[in-house]
Amino acid sequence: MDPILSEAISAEIEQAQRVLLVTHVGPDGDAIGSLLGLGALLEAQGKEVTLACEDPVPESYRFLPGSDAVVQATGGRYDLLVSLDCSDQRRMGDVVPENLAGLPLINIDHHLTNSRFGTINWVDASAVATTQMVLALAEALGWRVTRQVAICLLNGLVTDTRSFRTSNVDLAAMRAVLRLMEAGASLPEIARQALEQRPLASVRLWADAVEDLRLEDGILWTSVTLDMRQRHGMSENDFSGLANSLSGIREASAVVVFTEREDGLVDVGMRASPGLNVAGAALRLGGGGHPQAAGCTLEGDLRQVQDRVLAEVRRSLSERVANAQ
Ligand SMILES: [Mn+2]
């Protein structure tokens, strides 16, 4: 980690007593892992921390130590705001009160598309997870990584790489895993809890969505409608597991899963084969992400959203073909 950056972050933290940590709406394993991990590290430094996320901790990550402490609303006085795994300010949702506008904001993220909205921006797209960056910060500042912290941080690495199978996995990521295992985190246990375990209803729901799969111009896509979710009693809005499972289909260059939400918006999850890039399409649609895994949330009815998104993904894939020629 760049010593100028770690010094700057350290100085902000030293001056603060009450720290508000926020991660993104629709949290994934890296969001919750980095929130809980950095929260516990700051608490050990004597800080009063508030851990916030607009949405509740998904069932898959409730085994993480400290997950009960995450709140959906904030209030009161804070000295410092830290955003984790948020590629832009809107990803923090409505959990950040407006009167915090003048507060120092440390933006810690590994998304290539990060809009650098903080007063200190630490964006490292070479990190496979935001938790890998939190570990680097702890090591740079000489903070002790307890077993509890190691479990939370390893959870981010395991989930964002789908158990170390994404194309960005490198030696630095594996060295981080080694250090976290040395600190007491169990890789097989985290992989089982965070990636393998799921309710039967989710598989039944996937079956419905798989039934509707379509393959057009190398794009494999389907939708999880509100109707399907009601039928199977699935209220949780994390269907990244479905997009991930489909991303291995040989015939597909890209995968898109549309999920209808209760509030009328549509969540769009995109995946691309190695060498292709869906982050640009997501960014043009107001979202963001990584080259191989990105997403956005759009207004409009499902049919309109599908047309808009598929056109952008098609454009991304054709740009790639044009560049290759
Ligand atoms: Mn992440």
CB atoms within 10 A of CB 217: 11
Confidence grade of residue 325 (pLDDT, cut at 50, 70, 90): very low
Q: How remote is the CA of residue 304 from the centroid of ligand 1, in Å? A: 29
Type of residue at 137: L
Residue 177 CA to ligand 1 centre (angstroms): 15
For range 34-47, the mean pLDDT: 98
Asked if 35 contacts 70 with a C-beta cutoff of 8 angstroms, the reply is yes
Please tell me the predicted confidence (pLDDT) of residue 99: 74
CA distance from start to end of the chain? 38
Is residue 313 pLDDT above 90, yes or no?
Answer: yes
* Section 9-35 average pLDDT: 97
d(CA 17, CA 48): 6
Nearest-angstrom CA–CA distance, 65 and 50: 15
CA 98 to centroid of ligand 1, rounded, Å? 25
129 CA from centroid of ligand 1 (Å): 5
Would the pLDDT of 188 be above 50?
yes
Cα of 59 to ligand 1 centre, how many Å?
A: 18
What residue ranges define each of the domains in the chain, with the CATH number in brackets? 3-195 (3.90.1640.10), 200-324 (3.10.310.30)
- Cα-to-centroid distance, 170 and ligand 1 (Å): 16
- Paired sense of beta strands 219-224 and 254-260, if any: parallel
For residue 16, report the distance from its CA to the centre of ligand 1, in Å.
26
Is the Cα dihedral 177, 107, 28, 97 positive or negative?
positive
Average the pLDDT over 113-129 and give the result: 96
pLDDT at 236 > cutoff 60: yes
**What is the rounded CA–CA span in Å between residue 219 and residue 196?**
26
Q: Name the burial class of residue 75, with classes exposed (0-12), middle (13-18) and buried (19+) by CB atoms within 10 angstroms of its CB.
A: exposed
Q: How far is the CA of 109 from the centre of ligand 1 (A)?
A: 7
CA of 235 relative to ligand 1 center, distance in Å: 23
Distance 84 CA to ligand 1 centre (A): 9
Distance 83 CA to ligand 1 centre (A): 12
Residue with the two structure tokens 């926020």: 22
Measured in angstroms, how far is the CA atom of residue 136 from the centroid of ligand 1? Answer: 15
Q: Which amino acid would we find at residue 163?
A: S
Q: Quote the ligand 1 centre to 325 CA distance (angstroms).
A: 32
Tens digit of pLDDT for each residue in 60-75? 999 999 999 999 998 8
Across 218-222, 237-241, 313-317, the highest mean pLDDT is recorded for: 218-222
Percentage of the chain modeled with pLDDT above 90 = 83
Of 41, 60, 11, the C-alpha closest to 202 is 60
Measure Cα distances from 80 to 5, 34, 258, 294, 297 in Å: 16, 17, 36, 29, 28
Confidence (pLDDT) at 321: 56
Closest Cα to residue 287, out of 72, 86, 57?
86
Distance 303 CA to ligand 1 centre (A): 29
Name the pLDDT band for 234 (thresholds 50, 70, 90): confident
pTM: 0.91
pLDDT at 320: 65
132 CA from centroid of ligand 1 (Å): 9
Q: How far is the CA of 120 from the centre of ligand 1 (A)?
A: 18
In this prediction, residue 238 carries a pLDDT of 65
Dist. CA 130 → ligand 1 center (Å): 5
Please give the distance of CA 239 from its chain centroid, rounded to a whole number. 13
For 197, counting Cβ atoms within 10 Å of its Cβ (0-12 exposed, 13-18 middle, 19+ buried), the class is: exposed
Rounded Cα distance between 285 and 297, Å, is 8
Ligand 1 centre from 144 Cα, in Å?
23
Q: 290 CA distance to ligand 1 centroid (A)?
A: 9
Q: What is the pLDDT of residue 318?
A: 83
pLDDT interval class at 100 (50, 70, 90): confident
Quick one: average pLDDT of 71-85? Answer: 94
Lowest-confidence region among 40-49, 165-174, 239-248, 282-291: 239-248
C-alpha 293 – ligand 1 centre gap (Å): 10
